[in-house]
Amino acid sequence: MAKQSNEPVLWALFSAGGVFAAFVIPVHLFLIGLAFPLGWIPAPGYEYLHALVRLPLARLYVFALCSLALFHWAHRFRYTLYDGLQIKHLNELIFFCCYGGAILGTVWAGYLLWNFR
Amino acid sequence: MTETRQPARYTEYHPRWYRSRVSTWWWLAQWPYLKFILREISSVFVAWFVVVLLLQIRALSRGSEAYAAFERWLQNPLIVLLNMITLFFVVFHAVTWFNVAPRAMAIRFRGKRVPDFWIVGANYAAWAAVSLVLAWFLVRS
């Protein structure tokens, strides 16, 4: 089965996404999800953020973060479903839904960032 | 007279182990199990953050009015509540990730293994530094 030979690659993506997510997501989420909407810290203006995302390096960063974080999710969530629910007959479906979701998210991120105006 | 005989086919003896059935809710039984499942579930909130970030990029791309609508959406109490839960889980992910770092990278210095404390400490210091740099980029009024 193809699953076995892919495992090291999938684990490497999981691990890279885990490191990336651990270092940067808490501060991003604290600012975008709580501090800015609740007015604890003044939110950056549209013009500033737009100019920031126009920078190719910033877009590359967002793309890598989104893609790796999604592959991290896919790997972890897959095993959570395998172990937590013990629904062996659905394992292949779970596999395709998890990595399929990560691939779709990566394509969406690439589309948005490539066409960013 | 020709006798047509099928060659005898042997199947390997395969013992059937006794396995007691494990409940679907096995992970509720003990705190370490629950902690394990919570750590794994944190990945769902990591994915939710990616969705929020991509919606922000999309709104930025569509213009200032779309971005204002996105900012109002973030102020919806249900979204704020969801983001509070998400913050708990992404911090939980970071802490559990850094705490197992010494087991993932065994660093040697002058032939001796660097104590776990220093590796974990270096990770936390790097976490603080990265967070400050990102905040410096994003906090502009």
* CATH code, domain carrying B50: 1.20.1300.10
The secondary element (H helix, E strand) that includes residue A80 is helix A56-85
Nearest to A114 by CA among B128, B78, B61, B17: B61
* Residue B112, phi then psi, degrees to nearest 5: -115, 150
Instruction: Say what the pLDDT of residue B102 is.
Output: 83
Rounded-to-integer distance, Cα A100 and Cα A94, Å? 9
Same domain, B94 and B133: no
Structure tokens at A87: 């629904």
Rounded-to-integer distance, Cα B39 and Cα A80, Å? 10
Q: Which residue range forms the structural domain that includes residue B76? A: 26-99
The verdict on residue B52 lying in a domain is: yes
B-chain residue closest to A76, CA distance: B40
Same domain, B88 and B62: yes
B63–chain A nearest CA distance, Å: 8
Find the range with the poorest average confidence among A15-24, A74-83, B104-113: B104-113
Range A7-34 average pLDDT: 95
The verdict on residue A2 lying in a domain is: no
CATH number of the domain enclosing A93? 1.20.1300.10
Nearest to A11 by CA among A84, A68, A89, A82: A68
Same domain, B46 and B94: yes
> ipTM higher than 0.90?
yes
CA trace torsion A89, B93, B95, A39 (10° rounding): -160
pLDDT in tens, A68-97: 999 999 999 999 988 877 777 888 899 999
CB-CB neighbours of B5 under 10 Å: 6
B-chain residue closest to A110, CA distance: B54
Q: Cβ–Cβ of A18/B41 closer than 8 Å?
A: no
B-chain CB neighbours of A24 within 8 Å are 130-131, 134
A-chain CB neighbours of B52 within 8 Å are 29, 32-33
